[in-house]
Each structure stands twice: as C-alpha cells, then as structure tokens.
C-alpha cells in the first residue's frame, strides 16, 4: 500500500469481552482525531467488535492494532487483528456467508469485509490469523 | 409485542439508560450486541425502531430539563446508529447475493434461450410451466399457446400412457433413461422427440419436472436411409450370388456336356488332356459355389437363421479349427431384415474371434421370450478392454460400430462383456413380434 503511517500505532491486547470495549473506545478516539463523522466512527467500532469477537471466540488471545493512515492526503484508519490461534484451514470457506451462524446473517468476517473499504486476511493453519481492514474518510 | 421482542425492548431501554447516565463505549457495544441479537432472532429494522421509539419516549418522560432532554435525544440517536449496523451488514450481504443471483439467472436464461433443444418445466399435475424459444422453432406453436396448459395433447395418443408413467416416475424422484415420444406440431404433423427428464426440486421437495427434448427427425431419417442402403446392398449381393451359383453354374454344366461329347470323338491320349481340363472346370465350379455361399447363403432365405448359422459355423470350423456350437432356436421365421442383420452380425463376430481372440471354442446361443430375441456369442479367448476398443471408433474398432449400426436399424441393442484374458461375450437383444408357433419353416 502506498500509504504512510501517521503517529504511533495503538495496541490493545484482546482476551475477554471487556477488552473489546477498550479496543472500540481507542479506535473511535483515533478515528475521531482524523475527523471521521460519528456515523463512521460507529462503523469502525463495529469492525473492531467483529474482529475482536473472532479472536475471543476462536483464538482466545490476540491483539488489535490501530493506525492512522495518510494516502496522498486521503486520511484513513487501519485496524489489524492478530492472533496466534489455530488459524483457518480454508479461507475461501471462512469468507463465505453461512460458514458460521453469524456469517449466515452476513455478520462476522464477511460482514466486516462489506462494511470496510479494504479487507485482507492471511492465515497460516496452526500459526494464527491476521486480518487487516481499512476505512477511508470520504 | 411477542415475549422475545418485549424482553429485547426491556434490555434495550436499560442499556440506553445506562448509556445516558455515562456508561459510554461499553453501552454502545451493548447496543451493537442488541442489534446483532435482534437480527439473530429474526426481528426486522422496524421492530428495532419500535423498541428505540419506546425507549426514547420513556427516557424523555424522565428528563427534567430541556438540556437533559436534548442530551437524551443525541445519545439515543448515536445508540440507534450503533444497533443498526448489524442490519447494515446483513443488508449489504443481501445486495451482494441478489447481484450474484441476477448474474447467474442471466447466464442460465441465456443458455436456455439459445439452446437448440426444447427445455421445459412441468408442474406435478402435468401443467406446462415454462418453455424456451426452441419450442417455437421446432413445433411451430407459440409458447403462450401452451404455457399453463396440460402437456398431454402435445403427445401422440399411442405414447400417452408411457408419458404419464414417466411423469409419475420422475415425480417420485427417479431419473429415467432417455425416452422417445411423438410430438404434435402446429401443422398437425408428428415429430419424434428424444426426452431426458429430471425431478424439479425446490427446498428438498419435488415440485415438478425439468426436461430437455430434442427433435430427432434427422437422425431417424439417417437411420432409415442406412437401413435402405443395407437392404439394397443385400439385394445386390443376393443377385450376384445367384448369378454366380445358378447362371455361371449352368453354363459350366453345358461346357461339361460339350467337352464330354468332344472327348468321345478324340483319340484316347488327347481325351486324357481334355479330362484334365474338365478337372480344372470342376475346381472352378467348386470355387464359384463357395464364393456364392460366402456372399449370401441361399440357405438363409430358404431354411432360416439357425440352419444358415450352422452352415456358416461349419465353414468357419473347417477353415480355422475353432469349435463352434449353435444352441437354442430363434423361434419362428423373423422379418428378412432382422434375419440378415443377425446373420451378418454373427458372421462379423466370428471373424473377430478368429482374428483376435485366440480362442478354441465359441458358442452361439439363442433364447426367445415373447417379444425379445437374445443371441449371445461367447468365446473362451483372450478378451479385450471394452472401453479402450470402443473409444477407438471407426475402421479399427473391431467392426463393433458396424454391428451397432446394423442393430440400431432393427431396434436392437448390443452389450459386450469382456475383460483382458477372460473371454468375450456379445449379448444381442432384438425386439420381435410375439411368438406363438415355433417353427423354422421356409418363408412363403
């Protein structure tokens, strides 16, 4: 990606539901610095919720990393969810709606992909999963 | 309000209240979870708006000042946006799914509209639900003339019982093999259609029949032309065989008599040389007779299939040392094309055995049920790989294609049971007329 990182990244360790709230709060605060309207803050917080929920559910422990980006004057927020859990054996399958019950409703990873502007996922079976999402200011 | 909705409404009101009294992000996360839960329970956006509306009214009732009321409204709207996002994700998914469905629908629509075969669907009671444009091209009917009507008037009356039976079978979930039905065209003519029908399944339930029908008029004509050609060839061969056997034979007999007369008037040493010439003439006569029988055994016309095959087997046995047994009887005389086809097929099969099978014995067995004549040619030779040889169509295909074409013309079928090193069995089934009297009488 040709975008530069602005300022320090924020890392939130995720191991319980309370940590999800912390990650949301920090993500919302960071995006708000960048001037995102409050309805967009809700979108970013939701993406954090879904990614962090996945960590708690499938990997037990992991991290949410939050960054502010600048791509030729275009501002954005990047959320990275990293875990060292079991990994996803079949990514294409995991990205299909209906893979899990929440996916069937269009939530979970597929839902997060639709909510955000960019979505990348890397998973090594047995080594963990990294999901990166970005949302750019309109 | 149903109990689930009421419970959710209570939790929503509680969470909104918590948010308004300063629980911040945790309350917003709860709002999101409530939205997620509502979606999971099958509640709609309107249900959620109803809950929001009630919770907001309740919160406003307890507001003491204008400022407090304004804070309540701002907070509630933020809370509402949060809880809607689960629905937003689900909504976007529906849009994506719909777009994919539309694309897939267009692709299939394109296939169906440009197909050269008729593609149709029927309801369980036999009502035509859909037809593609090929129906109009092939039958001359307009689709609107038939959609919504029963299919039965389109099917030839003789084929109707079978059509109804197949319809029932497909509705029971079966996929019958290809079948033929006569189909009525707008001009009143009947055309032969070859059908494939499968159950139309919706939500794991058979709701009708999906079928594909092909106009096989051309194929039928080609088969008919081939049959004519074969018959013509047989006639020609018969004529030549007759000319060789009878006419040339009679001429030779006259030559014999002439030579005998000349021999009487000649001195004995010259008469001996003439005798040698007569010996040569005998050989020519023998060869002519042999050739004529190879071409067309008159015995087939005169005595029927079994004696003709015995004669053929005897000849092959003597030439090759192969033991050949003819067992069973084909029953009463069959139509000439059927007898000829079977004779030629067995002849071809025996040629195959002598050329390729390295067998020591062959049996030719006939069994006849009421409407079916079965002829099995089985050898004890090296066998072969059926799929490999069948794939090698044409000239090198052991003449199997020829056998199949001959059988096709008389409505018969061929099955081959063979494996390398395990002998070969040709199973030939031919439909025949019901057999009452069993006899091998000459044809009137």
Model ipTM value: 0.88
> CA B424, CA B39: separation in Å to the nearest integer?
67
Residue A105, chain B, CB below 8 Å: the answer is yes
The CA-CA-CA angle for residues B319, B347, B324, to 5°, reads 55
Biggest alpha carbon–alpha carbon distance for chain B: 159
Q: Regarding the domain delimited by B300-444, which CATH topology (the fold level of the hierarchy) does it fall under?
A: Heat Shock Protein 90 (3.30.565)
Q: Which chain B residues are within 8 Å of A101, Cβ to Cβ?
A: 40
Mean pLDDT over B111-115 rounds to: 95
Measure the CA–CA gap between B299 and B290, rounded to whole angstroms.
13
Burial of residue A40 (number of CB atoms within 10 Å: 0-12, 13-18, 19+): buried
Kindly determine whether residue A46 and residue B85, on different chains, have CB atoms separated by under 8 Å.
yes
Contacts of A110 in chain B (CB under 8 A): 93
Q: What is the pLDDT of residue B104?
A: 93
Q: Which residues of A are less than 8 Å from B86 in CB distance? A: 46, 105, 107, 111
pLDDT in tens, B312-341: 898 888 888 899 999 988 888 888 888 988
Residue B94 contacts A where some CB pair is shorter than 8 Å: yes
Chain B closest-CA separation from residue A64 CA (Å): 16
DSSP bridge pairs for B375 = B366, B428
Contact status of B99 with chain A (Cβ, < 8 Å): no
A130 and chain B in contact, CB less than 8 A: no
| Chain centroid, CA B145 distance in Å | 29
Q: If you average pLDDT over residues B264-292, what whole number do you get?
A: 83
Cβ(B213)–Cβ(B183) below 8 Å? yes
- CA dist., res. B35 & res. B45, Å (int): 9
Q: Looking at the predicted structure, is the pLDDT value of residue B395 above 50?
A: no
Pick the residue of A32, A43, A46 with the most B CBs within 10 A to test the interface with B by mutation.
Answer: A46
Return the higher-pLDDT residue of B207 and B13: B207
Give B228-272 pLDDT, tens digit per residue: 888 888 888 888 888 887 788 888 888 888 888 888 888 888 888
Q: How far is B42 from chain A (nearest CA, A)?
A: 10
Distance from CA of B69 to the nearest CA of A (A): 20
Distance of CA A101 to the CA centre of its chain: 19
Confidence of residue B439 (pLDDT cuts 50, 70, 90): very low
Partners of residue A115 in chain B, C-beta under 8 Å: 85, 88-89, 92
Residues 6+ apart with CB under 8 A from B273: none
Residue B186 burial (C-beta neighbours within 10 Å; 0-12, 13-18, 19+): exposed
Chain B residues with beta carbon closer than 8 angstroms to that of A107: 36, 39, 86, 89-90
Residue B180 three-state SS: strand
Pick from B25, B36, B82: CB nearest A21: B25
Using alpha carbons, list the distances in angstroms from residue B308 to B301, B332, B340: 9, 14, 10
For residues A69 and B170, what is the distance between their CA atoms, to the nearest angstrom?
Answer: 61
Whether residue B140 is predicted with pLDDT greater than 50 in this model: the reply is yes
User: CB neighbours (10 Å) of residue B395?
Assistant: 7
Q: Which of residues 68-87 of B touch A (CB under 8 A)?
A: 78, 81-82, 85-86
Say how far apart CA B308 and CA B364 lie, in whole Å: 13
Asked whether the beta carbons of B349 and B428 are under 8 A apart, the reply is no
| pLDDT of res. B289 | 79
Which of B15, B18, B24, B28 to mutate against chain A (most A CBs within 10 Å)?
Answer: B28
Q: Please report the beta strands in B8-81, taking only residues with DSSP state E, as ranges in sequence order.
A: none
Q: What is the mean pLDDT of residues B386-413?
A: 72
pLDDT in tens, B43-73: 888 888 888 888 888 888 888 899 988 988 8
Domain B115-215 has CATH 3.40.630.30: no
Residue B159 has pLDDT above 50, yes or no: yes
Domains of chain B, residue spans: 3-109, 115-215, 217-296, 300-444
Highest-confidence segment of A92-96, B88-92, B209-213 = B209-213
Closest-CA residue of chain A to B24 = A25
Q: Which of helix, strand or coil describes residue B315?
A: helix
Residue range B352-358: mean pLDDT, rounded: 86
d(CA B254, CA B248): 10
pLDDT of residue B443: 47
pLDDT top residue among B6 and B219: B219
Measured between CB atoms, which of B25, B91, B93 is closest to A24?
Answer: B25
Please list, in sequence order, all residues whose beta carbon lies within 8 angstroms of the beta carbon of residue A133, skipping any fewer than 6 positions away: A47, A51, A78, A79, A80, A112, A113, A116, A118, A119, A120
CATH code given to domain A4-136: 3.30.565.10
Mean local confidence (pLDDT), B268-279: 84
């Amino acid at each position: 990606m040709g975008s530069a990182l602005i300022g320090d990244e924020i890392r939130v360790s995720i191991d319980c539901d309370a940590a999800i709230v912390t990650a949301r709060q920090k993500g919302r605060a960071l995006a708000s610095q960048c001037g995102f309207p409050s309805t967009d803050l809700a979108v970013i917080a939701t993406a954090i919720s879904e990614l962090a929920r996945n960590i708690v559910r499938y990997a037990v422990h992991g991290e949410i990393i939050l960054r502010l980006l600048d791509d030729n004057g275009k501002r954005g927020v990047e959320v990275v969810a990293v875990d060292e859990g079991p990994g996803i054996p079949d990514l294409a399958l995991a990205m299909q709606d209906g893979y899990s019950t929440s996916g069937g409703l269009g939530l979970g990873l597929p839902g997060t992909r639709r909510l955000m502007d960019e979505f990348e996922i890397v998973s090594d079976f047995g080594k963990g999963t990294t999901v990166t999402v970005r949302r750019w200011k309109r | 309000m149903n109990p689930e909705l009421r419970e959710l409404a209570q939790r929503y009101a509680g969470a909104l209240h918590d948010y308004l009294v300063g629980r911040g992000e945790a309350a917003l996360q709860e709002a999101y979870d409530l939205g997620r839960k509502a979606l999971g329970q099958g509640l709609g956006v309107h249900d959620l708006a109803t809950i929001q509306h009630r919770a907001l009214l309740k919160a406003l009732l307890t507001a003491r000042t204008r400022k407090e009321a304004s804070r309540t409204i701002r907070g509630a709207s933020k809370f509402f946006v949060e809880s809607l996002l689960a629905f937003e994700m689900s909504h976007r998914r529906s849009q994506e799914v719909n777009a994919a469905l539309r694309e897939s629908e267009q692709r299939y629509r394109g296939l169906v509209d440009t197909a050269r075969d008729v593609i149709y669907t029927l309801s369980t009671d036999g009502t035509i639900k859909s037809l593609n444009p090929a129906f109009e091209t092939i039958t001359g009917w307009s689709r609107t003339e038939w959609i919504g009507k029963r299919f039965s008037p389109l099917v030839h009356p003789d084929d109707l019982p079978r059509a109804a039976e197949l319809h029932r079978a497909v509705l029971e979930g079966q996929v019958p093999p290809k079948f033929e039905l006569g189909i009525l065209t707008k001009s009143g003519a009947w055309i032969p259609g070859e059908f494939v029908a499968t159950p139309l399944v919706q939500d794991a339930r058979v709701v009708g029949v999906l079928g594909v029908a092909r106009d096989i008029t051309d194929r039928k004509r080609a088969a008919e032309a081939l049959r004519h050609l074969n018959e013509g060839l047989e006639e020609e061969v018969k004529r030549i065989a007759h000319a060789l056997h009878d006419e040339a034979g009679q001429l030779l007999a006259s030559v014999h008599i002439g030579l005998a007369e000349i021999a009487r008037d000649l001195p004995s040493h010259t008469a001996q040389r003439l005798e040698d010439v007569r010996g040569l003439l005998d050989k020519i006569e023998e060869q002519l007779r042999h050739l004529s029988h190879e071409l067309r055994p008159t015995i087939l016309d005169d005595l029927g299939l079994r004696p003709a095959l015995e004669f053929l087997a005897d000849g092959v046995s003597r030439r090759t040392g192969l033991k050949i047994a003819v067992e069973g009887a084909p029953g009463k005389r069959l139509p000439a094309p059927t007898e000829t086809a079977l004779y030629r097929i067995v002849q071809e099969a025996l040629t195959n055995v002598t050329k390729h099978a390295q067998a020591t014995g062959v049996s030719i067995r006939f069994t006849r049920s009421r409407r079916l004549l079965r002829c099995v040619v089985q050898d004890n030779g090296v066998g072969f790989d059926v799929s490999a040889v069948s794939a090698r169509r044409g000239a090198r295909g052991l003449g199997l294609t020829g056998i199949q074409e001959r059988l096709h013309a008389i409505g018969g079928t061929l099955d081959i049971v063979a494996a390398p090193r395990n002998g070969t069995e040709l199973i030939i089934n031919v439909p025949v007329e019901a057999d009452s009297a069993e006899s091998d009488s000459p044809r009137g």
